[in-house]
Each structure stands twice: as C-alpha cells, then as structure tokens.
C-alpha cells in the first residue's frame, strides 16, 4: 500500500507496511520538490493619463515598468531504485505541476544532467517539456 503526502512544494510517496495492523512507513518510494519564483521578462510602456477625463498628449505620464511572471522550478525528483518503472515519477510530476498551477505559475522548468536519459525522456516525452538549453562547463 502506498500513501501520498504533500507539503508546500514537496510531494512524497511512501510505501506502507500493514503487517501489524498499524500502518508504518516501510520505504520512501519517491519525492519531488519544486518552488515558484517571480521573474522579470522585459519591460512594457505604461501610460497613465493622470485621471484626466479627455486626456491630451500633455496629460500622459509614460514610464517603463517590468513585466513579471510566476515561473515554477522542479528542484529535484528522486525515485527509490526498488520503486522505478511503477509510474511514481509520473504521479509525482503531475502532483507538483498541479500545485504549480494552483499557485499561479505560468511556466515550469527543470534542470537535469545531460546524460540522465530517464529524466530527459520523462519530461520531454511524457510531459511535453522542451529542451532549450544545455550548459557547458568551462575550466
């Protein structure tokens, strides 16, 4: 039997042991952690007509203001080796994305190692994430 636990930005799936009639945690099946940040993505021109009913060009007070967006980040997804290939990763990502939407995130991102094929496939093939950047380390 498994149990799901959600705390602000963290979802945990636990395998429960029911042998003694009282549920106890046998093993953590998987965990995902995420956060939402407000980022700026350029500026827009805001024109304030200073409350004038029929404004003329002298009544406008234009200024550049930042355009802000709520962006979600998946900070870590871990599945116990004994629980891989059971759909736990799918369930965890679905739950954290639900939390992102509920909290107003417009986009979500994840960073993973370039050779982590399982993670890349999960996010690009199952969740339609787009690979857009591969950083290089210069020494």
Q: Where are the domains of the chain?
A: 2-126
**Can you list the positions of beta strands (E) in 49-110?**
61-79, 107-110
* Other beta carbons within 10 Å of 11: 22
10-residue mean pLDDT profile of the chain (139 residues): values are 57 63 68 90 75 62 83 89 85 91 92 87 92 74
Backbone phi, psi, residue 109, to 5° = -130, 155
Q: What is the CATH number assigned to the segment(s) 2-126? A: 3.40.630
Q: What is the pTM of this model?
A: 0.71
Enumerate residues 6+ apart whose C-beta is below 8 A from 108: 34, 71, 72, 73, 74, 97, 100, 129
Q: Residue written as tokens 């993973």?
A: 112
């Amino acid at each position: 039997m498994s149990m799901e636990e959600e705390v602000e930005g963290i979802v945990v799936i636990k395998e429960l042991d029911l042998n003694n009639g009282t549920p106890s945690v046998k093993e953590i099946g998987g965990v995902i952690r995420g956060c939402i940040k407000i980022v700026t993505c350029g500026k827009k021109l805001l024109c304030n007509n200073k409350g004038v009913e029929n404004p003329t060009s002298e009544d406008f007070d234009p200024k550049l203001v930042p355009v802000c967006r709520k962006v979600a980040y998946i900070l870590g997804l871990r599945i116990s080796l004994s629980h891989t290939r059971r759909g736990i990763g799918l369930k965890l990502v679905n739950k954290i994305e639900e939390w992102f939407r509920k909290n107003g995130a417009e986009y979500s991102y994840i960073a993973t190692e370039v050779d982590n094929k399982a993670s890349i496939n999960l996010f690009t093939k199952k969740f339609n994430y787009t690979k857009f950047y591969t950083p290089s380390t210069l020494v």
